[in-house]
Amino acid sequence: MKEVPEARMEEEIQGVCMEEEAPQTREEENVCMEKSPVMSCDATPMECSCNVTGHWRNELGSDMQLTAKDSSLQGWYKTAVGTIQKAALTGFVSAGVQPPTVSFSVLWKEGGCTSWVGQCFVLPTGDCVLKTIWMLRSVAEGPDDNWTSTRVGADTFSFVGAC
């Protein structure tokens, strides 16, 4: 690929990835995919879309790797909050729907579990984000502690790339 200044590269990528027409050459398609691997650049007219497969990071530094196959999601989640730990992740994605919705869960080694629901969006910059709401359930010692064992929050995950 020819060397071009970063600003010019951005203009070329925008032209290739966001035009009304699909890329005309394999090189144009590769430029789009190298810049933003989660964007689908084979639609006509050109419409970029989210592919949730890949490495994602939230605003607190937690990482996850997602692999989508049909409507199934598998992978791992490594929290950067509290006791740092990595856990298996399983969930669902709305296959064939753009932008896709997702739900996924992890079971922590101490018995708590966290579930997220959300949707993948392509920003005007071409970057993809997963906007989610999560619910964390910790193990309660008894019925009187039930209400203190559930927390709710929101995460925005940004696409990092393939691991």
63 and 107 part of one domain? yes
Domain of 7 in residue numbering reads as: 1-48
103 and 154 part of one domain? yes
How would residue 161 be classed by pLDDT, with cut points 50, 70 and 90? confident
67 and 11 part of one domain? no
2 and 62 part of one domain? no
How would residue 48 be classed by pLDDT, with cut points 50, 70 and 90? low
Give the three-class secondary structure for 56: strand
How would residue 34 be classed by pLDDT, with cut points 50, 70 and 90? very low
Taking alpha carbons only, the member of 123, 104, 103 closest to residue 36 is 123
96 and 155 part of one domain? yes
Select from 48, 64, 86 the last residue of a domain: 48
pLDDT per position as a tens digit, 123-155: 988 899 999 999 999 999 999 989 899 999 999
Residue type, 67: T
Higher pLDDT, 43 or 64: 64
Does residue 28 have a pLDDT over 90?
A: no
Contacts within 8 Å (CB) and 24+ apart, 6-12: 9/35
Total-model pTM: 0.70
Question: Using CA atoms, how far apart are residues 139 and 127, in angstroms rounded to an integer?
Answer: 37
109 and 60 part of one domain? yes
CATH number of the domain enclosing 128: 2.40.128.30
How would residue 162 be classed by pLDDT, with cut points 50, 70 and 90? low
CA dihedral 135, 72, 51, 77 (to 10 degrees): 40
61 and 124 part of one domain? yes
pLDDT per position as a tens digit, 77-110: 999 998 889 999 999 999 888 899 999 999 999 9
82 and 123 part of one domain? yes
73 and 148 part of one domain? yes
Does residue 32 have a pLDDT over 60?
A: no
Higher pLDDT, 74 or 8: 74
Count of domains forming the chain = 2
